Amino acid sequence: MRATPGHTSGCLTYVTDDQSKAFTGDALLIRGCGRSDFQQGDAATLYDSINNQILSLPDSCLIYPGHDYSGRTVSSVAEEKAHNARIGGHASKQDFVGYMDAMQLPHPKHIDVALPANMVSGKPETMPEEPTWAPVVQTFAGVLEVEPAWVAAHLGDIYLLDVREPEECVPGETTMANASIPLGQLRDRISEVPGDKPVMAICRSGRRSAMATGILKQAGHEKVANVSGGLLRWKDEGLPLSA
């Protein structure tokens, strides 16, 4: 790992032990480099970082930048020394700083919002309160889920909504649901879902019911969660299927 500030004050370049590959983030790009006019950037510092920490690697070292606007994925130290319009071809620090200062790049959209968030690693000033109505977990897709065993143990405190199709509902296999509304009908029948209790949606595998939670939230239901794993997991855990 090598410190390569200049684009931002915290830029790092990761180099493999054999110096055959370097992951340069936004410091050195393919035929370019990161801008240096915000987020504690400095053109002179960036020039030193690129020359001393990246272009000093073997010419054969492959360069993998954080992104590229033209769809390119890899370059090399030799290529950037020869062809980089900003810092290649024996450009002096004065050449580089003058080039960067003259670019007059437009102010990035939403940068005034993004930068403060970046500085605190995206952590908001105030964290949302944890739900108290159920031990929910938020998935990577942003869906609130709850464990089937908890649902089975709290059926009197929640409203269990089965969103499977009628032909899927085998007699005696109701998962003790309060109601059954197929997912395709839920938007038209949303008024049938009461709002006095947290609503737990369930289906065969948990996928359609995850979509159902989104429909319910859009309709104004705030306490909504998906039953994780659906009926398949419900059965695997030996939970009751009928009263």
The predicted pLDDT at position 193 comes to 96
Least confident of 58-72, 103-117, 127-141: 103-117
Whether residues 179 and 94 fall in one domain: no
| Amino acid in the structure at residue 206 | G
Whether residues 20 and 86 fall in one domain: yes
DSSP state, residue 157: T
Whether residues 11 and 101 fall in one domain: yes
pLDDT band of 54, cuts 50, 70, 90: very high
Whether residues 147 and 221 fall in one domain: yes
pLDDT band of 203, cuts 50, 70, 90: very high
Whether residues 69 and 156 fall in one domain: no
Domain boundary among 57, 87, 119: 119
pLDDT band of 221, cuts 50, 70, 90: very high
Q: What is the largest CA-CA distance in the chain?
A: 80
| Amino acid in the structure at residue 23 | F
Least confident of 78-92, 116-130, 148-162: 116-130
Domain boundary among 119, 148, 164: 119
Q: Is residue 126 part of a domain?
A: no
DSSP state, residue 51: I
Alpha helices, H only, 34-76: 43-49
Whether 27 and 34 have beta carbons less than 8 Å apart is answered as: yes
Sheet holding 12-15, edge to edge: 2-3, 12-15, 21-25, 62-65, 75-76
**Prediction pTM value:** 0.52
Whether residues 163 and 103 fall in one domain: no
For the chain, the domain total comes to 2
Q: Is residue 125 part of a domain?
A: no
Whether residues 92 and 198 fall in one domain: no
The predicted pLDDT at position 176 comes to 79
Whether residues 228 and 155 fall in one domain: yes
Overall average pLDDT of the 144-149 stretch: 95
Overall average pLDDT of the 195-220 stretch: 94
Can you give the CATH number for the domain in which 199 is found? 3.40.250.10
Whether residues 7 and 86 fall in one domain: yes
Whether residues 18 and 106 fall in one domain: yes
Whether residues 10 and 45 fall in one domain: yes
Q: Is residue 81 part of a domain?
A: yes
Q: Is residue 145 part of a domain?
A: yes
Overall average pLDDT of the 43-53 stretch: 96
Can you give the CATH number for the domain in which 43 is found? 3.60.15.10
Domain boundary among 62, 89, 119: 119
3-state DSSP of 208-238:
HHHHHHHHHHHCCCCCEEEECCHHHHHHHCC
Overall average pLDDT of the 160-186 stretch: 84
Q: Is residue 172 part of a domain?
A: yes
108 contact partners, CB below 8 Å, separation of at least 6: 38, 114
Q: Is residue 127 part of a domain?
A: no
Cβ atoms < 10 Å from Cβ of 204:
17
> Can you read off the two tokens belonging to residue 41?
């950037």
User: What range defines the domain where residue 114 resides?
Assistant: 2-119
